[in-house]
Amino acid sequence: MSANVIAIDGPAASGKSTVASHLARLLSIPYVNTGSMYRAVAYAVLENKVDCNDTEAMAELLDSIKLDYSADEEGNFSLSLNGRFLKDELVTPEVNAAVSHVAAVVAVREKLKTLQRSLAEKQRIVMEGRDIGSVVFPDARWKFFVTASPEVRAKRRLDQSKESYSSATLEEIAKSIAERDRIDSERPVAPLKQCEDAVLVDSSNMNVEETVAFIAERIR
């Protein structure tokens, strides 16, 4: 099963989503962004005002939410939460602040791991996240760890959010990214880390095309 997966992991705002989606297009296979699944659960946690440290309340919430992936004609997946397609709602400052706490909950990770594994059963896919090569598909044939310097990552996220440049916003974004990385790296279950058998891709001085070409070259 794992031979079907190209695993791309890395820290927040490293550019891995853009790289993963371009790579998938180049290879004509679907792309799955697992961060959006964690974001959807965080969105549900906030909407239902659930305390993510309350095990029972979280179990109840997880039972009540249905996450679905439906593929478009090109095979790309869109995520829906209880029948509602979510996009901009998943990248608000509130979700950014909550998501790493929600992603540290074991029951959340178990539910999403099952969903992630099921998506690779029948097809080759590019799957991107924090623990794809380490936990979800430890025997994936291709594993990449995409990173970039903290300054480059903050600038990329700012460009992506189309907010106006000011040192204050840049500093705020850098702080929020660093805080998510800290929580993601320090959690006991499935922490963010580069696996020994993953190829390190430092994209600090590479644009999207160069990074995709670097990865595609290794796969070929």
Residues that bind ligand CDP (CB under 6 A): 12-13, 17, 34-35, 38-39, 99-100, 103, 129-132, 180, 184
Q: Measured from the CB atom, is 30 or 129 closer to ligand CDP?
A: 129
DSSP-derived pairing of the beta strands 31-33 and 125-129: parallel
Return the residue nearest ligand CDP (CB atom).
35
Q: Measured from the CB atom, is 103 or 215 closer to ligand CDP?
A: 103
Q: Which residues contact 70 (CB under 8 A, 6 or more apart)?
A: 77, 78, 80
Output the six-digit token pair for 19.
């790289």
CA distances from 206 to 57, 122, 129, 210 (A): 44, 33, 20, 6
- The residue with tokens 């998938």 is 24
Work out how close the CB of 189 gets to ligand CDP at its nearest, in angstroms, rounded to a whole number.
9
Work out how close the CB of 12 gets to ligand CDP at its nearest, in angstroms, rounded to a whole number.
4
Q: Measured from the CB atom, is 50 or 73 closer to ligand CDP?
A: 50
Work out how close the CB of 183 gets to ligand CDP at its nearest, in angstroms, rounded to a whole number.
7
Q: Measured from the CB atom, is 39 or 215 closer to ligand CDP?
A: 39
Work out how close the CB of 92 gets to ligand CDP at its nearest, in angstroms, rounded to a whole number.
12
Q: Which residues contact 121 (CB under 8 A, 6 or more apart)?
A: 1, 4
Work out how close the CB of 180 gets to ligand CDP at its nearest, in angstroms, rounded to a whole number.
4
b/e map 131-140, b = 16+ CB within 10 Å: bbbbbbbeeb
Q: Measured from the CB atom, is 111 or 130 closer to ligand CDP?
A: 130
